[in-house]
């Protein structure tokens, strides 16, 4: 039987954010995961970053919970210092050989005390810090590393090179964890599927001497700059000039170093992330030092992602970052004091010279040789740009069945795309291995829970520095000292990152050692981090609800960063309030309810169909609701993908698969009318074509309602028949209509309705689309004159290849950013387009046979209705706002609802498909659990105070409350109310209405709220400070 040969385990190669996401989704979906990482700790590139764009969230803060989750998942086995030797077998049943290199430190013994490193005599360049600092021969990769275990660098260790030398670490290691005789070990692992998340390396600019990298000390890479800015970097976030440690006054960022460059390196592609990270780094440094002069020298500002253009505008207009459109070809020294000279030609055509004291090279992304070799060995085809060769229609499938890929190994991409890829790969593995789900996973019983009911509160307060996010504003030392004076506080500690693995271990230790029974975490927001700390409490044997977070970052340090004293005083108040609340919290148990094993998918475009099909392949029942009479959505108008794959053929196949799958039921001409219920048990009413109502019960929802196109109001559209929108042009082109067939001159106008005041966002796919159409036109008849009038050409990633091809074919690109949009006039037999030529610096008049407008993608007008029905936020452009732009890109804060495709933001087909698979992974992960733990925030009745007046019954929106009549011991008739635990959602509307304080919600009781109020207004504390 096929079922018997399918193995319910997967191998994930690469422990960066993409691989971690794939591992977590798979492990939670019922598959055992081997997570193979070549270095000593997982995390990949993200821990090296200071902040992430476009939110400027601290990178460590958002990745730390994921690191911890991977580290303590019972169904993920992390194999560090390991590489894959070979993969044999077939999809569903592979045998993999993994070589684990020696760590020379016994991980079962190492307690990460760091004494070894403290006394190690040998220092070498620290690659984690991009070689701007040293580390010892025995080291941990970074302080928040998972696993938090030391390792010996055999290239650096004196003892490993010569057995007669040193060995001091072995002498002083308290638990005796050092083992110089450690040897490499080969493991043979049986798995059903492989996920390759091999990641990237940054381009090494010392290869080309022109930028002076490695020659002039004040030329550094963007990654080095990131380490300078990082609070956990070697300079604690303080930026000085490498040559003389003097403060920096003028910084120049040079873009496209090792990208879009066929001359100095063979990286023709655009690295897709450098524009955004340069803006981020420039903004960060300007924020700390507004007087600095920071300039970014670029060719095209490629900020096509969600909220990216607003970020770019903010950098320019609010932060005063200078943007100079010019490619700098060389950096020279000026004088002998370390200054650097840049020489360039401005957009006005003038020669300009600038002197700066720091040059930051925005280095591109590339695939390391070793990874290319590994891919070849496994049998994966690669693109000429040395990334995994993937179809836009199957964006995480390699050329080898059963082997999937994600992250930057699929082409340069940012964190959300990597996270989406990780989830998408997990969904594809889940579909493949569905018969073997739950065959190899295990569940660990939690440790016995301490009964704290009779104990007096012993509160532990943990104050997070959050790097410098909190500690840079709030005087954390003073705050911690203050917290120690609060009643019932038994222990106070400060941590660089309270969410990191080392602090979780510490928390458990302190709970046990100090007998703590309640915890206050003064850090960021409970909305993102409370689940992590709850798990930690659980693993320490404390009820997971005996925790309160004081939000001293988002709601304090960040909103009062100009007033440190105010922020410090407020932090004390917030901690006092949390301490007051936590001391009255009671132990609770989550409510366990079964999950309906079906998913409602709203919208039958490519994203909806992809999600539906994947989940059906995973074995779940799907209800696909489509408002029109046919499946296909916006893709019905598309002809080809960016790399020339034929969309109509693919769409036909996908539609047939969806229509024929026994687990998918499609409702055409249907819309959602009403929604009730919650994660695991939604009840949705739809109106079907015959104006009938149908009620669907489902465990999860995926929203893939797409977008609509902008109908241009400018450029004489609708007035001159020769001015058409790009989608219309595709149709004319496909049918070789006379305007196209006889056309000699074609003008494409970009950004029509996008990136303006009304819609300050980029529609992302139009540059590529226009260039493809232009190439096709030119190839059909090379004599045709073709112009593309643009603001920035945003052929990000490997799409750059078609931009280059277009230019080689003689297509003329004219930039209208500087001199304003072109003007259109009707002329004999055609259209006249007036534009300023940015190269010749004079006005140009082009006679066009057809003018093609690259019209914007707009949010679907129906999004608002769905947002209201499912209680979801929309962003200011009308697109659905995901829970977290970086790490929760397809989820909402409302559990069980997911989003994919154009409903989220304009994007090309392969990104919609990827995101749809990611949404399917999340829904599958939820449904695989079969039952769900709901927050026990339910209303509880106090029978002594409740007199059965019934006011609460009338206001309860869920009809969860009923009147109960009973008799007391003496037989007197009495009344009270009963709250149904499943129907109650814990809103507390009853609580707000009760005249007797007879009913309140656990975790938000009258007493707890009053305690918070009293603590917030406690005047004794103010006096204490004054004294």
Partner 1 sequence: MSREAKIIAFCCNWCSYAAADLAGISRLQYPGSIRIIRVMCSGMVHPEMVIHALDKGADGVMIIGCHLGECHYIRGNEMALARAEVIADTLEDLGYESERFRIAWVSSAEPERLAEAFREMSARLASLRETDASPSGIGE
- Residues lying near partner 1 in the complex (CB under 8 A) are found at 55-57, 287, 525-528, 551, 553-563, 566-567, 569-570, 573-574, 577, 868, 871, 873-876, 881, 893-894, 937, 955, 957-958, 985-989, 991-994, 997, 1001, 1004, 1006, 1009-1010, 1012-1014, 1016-1017, 1019, 1022, 1026
- Nearest approach in angstroms of CB 1022 to partner 1 is 6
CA 951 to chain centre: 45
Give the whole-angstrom CA distance, residue 612 versus residue 664.
7
20 or 1002: CB nearest partner 1: 1002
326 or 561: CB nearest partner 1: 561
- Nearest approach in angstroms of CB 1017 to partner 1 is 4
Give the whole-angstrom CA distance, residue 986 versus residue 527.
16
If phi > 0 it is left, if psi is from -120 to 50 it is alpha, else beta; for residue 199 that is left
889 or 986: CB nearest partner 1: 986
Give the count of beta carbons closer than 10 Å to the beta carbon of residue 572: 25
433 closest CA partner among 26, 84, 21: 26
The SS3 call for residue 303 is coil
Give the whole-angstrom CA distance, residue 58 versus residue 55.
9
- Angle value at C-alpha 619, between 618 and 623, nearest 5 degrees: 105
- Nearest approach in angstroms of CB 574 to partner 1 is 7
118 closest CA partner among 177, 40, 172: 172
- Nearest approach in angstroms of CB 404 to partner 1 is 33
Give the whole-angstrom CA distance, residue 455 versus residue 540.
16
For residues 262-283, one letter each, b for 16 or more C-beta atoms within 10 angstroms of the residue's C-beta and e for the rest, the string is eebbebbbbbbbbbbbbbbbbb
- Exposure of 1007 in the CB half-sphere (CA atoms within 13 A): 10
360 or 1015: CB nearest partner 1: 1015
272 or 522: CB nearest partner 1: 522
817 or 1018: CB nearest partner 1: 1018
896 or 908: CB nearest partner 1: 896
653 or 864: CB nearest partner 1: 864
Cβ 425 vs Cβ 404: under 8 Å: yes
- Nearest approach in angstroms of CB 952 to partner 1 is 11
511 or 557: CB nearest partner 1: 557
Give the whole-angstrom CA distance, residue 46 versus residue 50.
9
Q: Check the CA dihedral 433-438-439-445 and report its sign.
A: positive
- Nearest approach in angstroms of CB 563 to partner 1 is 6
406 or 479: CB nearest partner 1: 479
- Nearest approach in angstroms of CB 860 to partner 1 is 17
120 or 549: CB nearest partner 1: 549
Give the whole-angstrom CA distance, residue 407 versus residue 411.
8
917 or 987: CB nearest partner 1: 987
- Nearest approach in angstroms of CB 551 to partner 1 is 7
Quick one: which H or E segment has residue 312?
helix 308-317
Give the count of beta carbons closer than 10 Å to the beta carbon of residue 926: 21
If phi > 0 it is left, if psi is from -120 to 50 it is alpha, else beta; for residue 467 that is left
- Nearest approach in angstroms of CB 578 to partner 1 is 11
740 phi, psi to nearest 5 deg: -85, -50
85 or 993: CB nearest partner 1: 993
Q: How far is CA 603 from CA 318, 624, 684, 857, in A?
A: 39, 7, 15, 17
- Nearest approach in angstroms of CB 57 to partner 1 is 6
The DSSP line for 942-1008 is -TTT-----HHHHH-TT--EEEEEEE-TT--EEEEEEE-TTT-----HHHHH-SSS-EEETTS-HHH
- Nearest approach in angstroms of CB 320 to partner 1 is 15
Q: Check the CA dihedral 865-867-873-879 and report its sign.
A: negative
Give the whole-angstrom CA distance, residue 233 versus residue 47.
10
- Nearest approach in angstroms of CB 560 to partner 1 is 5
Give the whole-angstrom CA distance, residue 709 versus residue 725.
10
The DSSP line for 868-924 is HHHT--B-TTSSB--SBTTTBTTB-SSTTEEE-GGGTS---HHHHHHHHHHHHHHHH
For residues 334-352, one letter each, b for 16 or more C-beta atoms within 10 angstroms of the residue's C-beta and e for the rest, the string is beeebbbebebeeeeeeee
- Nearest approach in angstroms of CB 63 to partner 1 is 16
407 closest CA partner among 919, 918, 1012: 918
389 or 937: CB nearest partner 1: 937
The β-bridge partners of 884 are 888
666 or 1021: CB nearest partner 1: 1021
- Nearest approach in angstroms of CB 467 to partner 1 is 15
- Angle value at C-alpha 53, between 52 and 59, nearest 5 degrees: 10
Q: DSSP assignment, residue 556? A: I
563 or 736: CB nearest partner 1: 563
12 or 557: CB nearest partner 1: 557
Give the whole-angstrom CA distance, residue 526 versus residue 538.
16
Q: How far is CA 574 from CA 719, 1004, 1017, in A?
A: 62, 16, 11
138 closest CA partner among 128, 124, 127: 124
The DSSP line for 74-130 is TTEEEE-SEEEEEEEEETTEEEEEEEEPP-SB-TTT-----HHHHH---EEE-TTTT
- Nearest approach in angstroms of CB 527 to partner 1 is 6
- Nearest approach in angstroms of CB 1001 to partner 1 is 6
304 or 988: CB nearest partner 1: 988
């Amino acid at each position: 039987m096929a079922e018997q040969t399918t193995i319910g385990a997967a191998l994930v190669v690469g422990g960066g954010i993409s691989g971690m996401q794939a591992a977590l989704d798979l492990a939670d979906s019922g598959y055992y995961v081997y997570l193979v990482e070549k270095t000593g700790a997982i995390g990949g590139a993200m821990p090296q970053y200071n902040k992430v764009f476009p939110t400027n969230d601290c990178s460590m803060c958002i990745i730390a919970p994921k690191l911890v989750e991977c580290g303590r998942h019972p169904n993920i086995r992390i194999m560090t210092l390991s590489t894959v030797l070979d993969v044999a077998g077939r999809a569903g049943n592979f045998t993999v050989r993994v070589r684990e290199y020696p760590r020379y430190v016994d991980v079962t013994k190492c307690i990460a005390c760091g004494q070894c490193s403290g006394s190690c005599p040998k220092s070498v360049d620290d690659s984690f810090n991009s070689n701007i600092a040293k580390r010892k021969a025995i080291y941990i990769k970074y302080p928040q590393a998972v696993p938090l275990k030391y390792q010996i660098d055999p290239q650096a260790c004196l003892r490993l090179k010569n057995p007669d030398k040193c060995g001091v670490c072995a002498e002083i290691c308290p638990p005796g964890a050092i083992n110089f005789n450690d040897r490499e070990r080969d493991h043979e692992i049986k798995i059903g599927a492989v996920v390759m998340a091999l990641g990237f390396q940054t381009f090494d600019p010392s290869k080309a001497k022109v930028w002076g990298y490695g020659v002039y000390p004040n030329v550094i890479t963007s990654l080095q700059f990131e380490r300078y800015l990082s609070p956990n970097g070697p300079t604690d976030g303080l930026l000085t000039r490498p040559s003389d440690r003097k403060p920096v006054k003028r910084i120049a960022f040079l873009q496209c170093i090792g990208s879009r460059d066929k001359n100095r390196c063979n990286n023709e592609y655009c690295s897709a992330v450098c524009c955004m990270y340069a803006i981020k780094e420039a903004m960060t440094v300007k924020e700390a030092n507004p007087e600095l002069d920071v300039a970014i020298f670029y060719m095209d500002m490629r900020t096509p992602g969600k909220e990216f253009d607003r970020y770019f505008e903010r950098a320019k207009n609010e932060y005063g970052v200078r943007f100079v459109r010019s490619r700098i070809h060389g950096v020279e020294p000026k004088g002998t004091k370390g200054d650097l000279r840049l020489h360039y030609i401005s957009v006005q055509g003038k020669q300009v010279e600038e002197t700066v004291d720091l040059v930051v090279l925005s280095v591109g992304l590339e695939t390391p040789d070793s990874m290319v070799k590994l891919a070849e060995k496994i049998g994966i085809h690669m693109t000429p740009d040395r990334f995994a060769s993937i179809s836009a229609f199957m964006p995480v499938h390699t050329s080898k069945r059963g082997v999937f890929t994600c992250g930057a190994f699929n082409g340069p991409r940012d964190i959300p795309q990597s996270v989406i890829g990780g989830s998408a790969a997990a969904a594809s593995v889940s579909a493949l291995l569905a018969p073997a789900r739950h065959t190899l996973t295990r569940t660990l019983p939690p440790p016995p829970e301490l009964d704290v009911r009779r104990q007096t509160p012993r509160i532990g307060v943990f104050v997070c520095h959050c790097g410098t996010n909190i500690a840079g504003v709030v005087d954390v030392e003073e705050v911690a000292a203050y917290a120690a004076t609060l009643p019932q506080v038994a222990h106070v500690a400060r941590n660089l990152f309270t969410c990191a693995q080392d602090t979780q271990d510490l928390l458990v230790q302190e709970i046990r050692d100090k007998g703590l029974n309640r915890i206050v975490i003064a850090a960021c927001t409970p909305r993102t981090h409370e689940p992590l700390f709850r798990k930690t409490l659980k693993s320490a044997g404390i009820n997971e609800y005996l925790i309160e977070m004081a939000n001293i970052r988002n709601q304090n340090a960040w909103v009062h960063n100009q007033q440190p004293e105010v922020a410090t005083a407020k932090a004390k108040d917030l901690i006092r309030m949390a301490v007051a609340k936590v001391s009255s919290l009671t132990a609770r148990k989550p409510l366990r309810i079964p999950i309906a094993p079906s998913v409602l998918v709203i919208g039958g475009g490519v994203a909806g169909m992809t999600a539906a099909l994947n989940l059906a392949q995973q074995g779940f029942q799907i209800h696909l609701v489509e408002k029109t009479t046919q499946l296909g959505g916006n893709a019905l108008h598309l002809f080809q993908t960016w790399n020339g794959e034929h969309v109509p053929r693919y769409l036909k196949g996908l539609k047939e698969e969806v229509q024929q799958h026994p687990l998918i039921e499609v409702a055409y001409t249907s819309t959602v009318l009403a929604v009730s219920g919650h994660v695991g048990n939604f009840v949705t009413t739809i109106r079907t074509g015959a104006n009938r109502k149908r009620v669907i019960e489902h465990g999860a929802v995926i929203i893939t309602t797409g977008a609509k196109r902008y109908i241009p109001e400018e450029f004489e559209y609708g007035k001159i028949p020769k001015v058409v929108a790009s989608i219309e042009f595709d149709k004319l082109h496909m049918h070789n209509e006379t305007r196209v067939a006889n056309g000699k001159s074609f003008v494409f106008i970009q950004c029509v309705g996008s990136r303006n005041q009304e819609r300050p966002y980029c529609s992302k796919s139009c540059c590529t689309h226009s260039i493809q159409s232009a190439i096709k036109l030119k190839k059909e008849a090379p004599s045709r004159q073709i112009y593309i009038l643009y603001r920035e050409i945003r052929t990000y990633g490997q799409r750059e290849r078609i931009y280059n091809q277009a230019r080689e074919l003689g297509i003329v690109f004219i930039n209208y950013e500087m001199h304003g949009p072109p003007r259109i006039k009707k002329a004999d037999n055609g259209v006249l387009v007036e534009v300023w030529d940015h190269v010749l610096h004079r006005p140009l008049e082009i006679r066009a046979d057809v003018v093609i407008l690259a019209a914007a993608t707009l949010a679907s007008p129906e999004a608002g209705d769905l947002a209201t029905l499912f209680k979801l936020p929309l962003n200011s452009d009308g697109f659905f706002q995901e829970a977290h732009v970086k790490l929760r890109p397809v989820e909402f804060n409302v559990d069980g609802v997911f989003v994919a495709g154009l409903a989220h933001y304009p994007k090309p087909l392969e990104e919609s498909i990827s995101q749809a698979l990611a949404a399917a992974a999340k829904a599958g992960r939820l449904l695989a659990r079969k039952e769900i733990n709901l927050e026990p925030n339910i209303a509880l009745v106090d029978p002594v105070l409740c007199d059965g007046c019934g006011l609460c019954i009338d206001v309860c929106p869920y009809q969860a409350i009923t009147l109960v009549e009973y008799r007391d011991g003496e037989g007197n008739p009495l009344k009270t109310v009963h709250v149904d635990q499943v129907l109650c959602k814990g809103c507390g509307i009853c609580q707000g209405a009760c005249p007797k304080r007879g009913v309140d919600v656990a975790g938000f009781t009258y007493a707890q709220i009053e305690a918070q109020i009293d603590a917030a207004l406690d005047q004794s504390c103010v006096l204490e400070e004054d004294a």
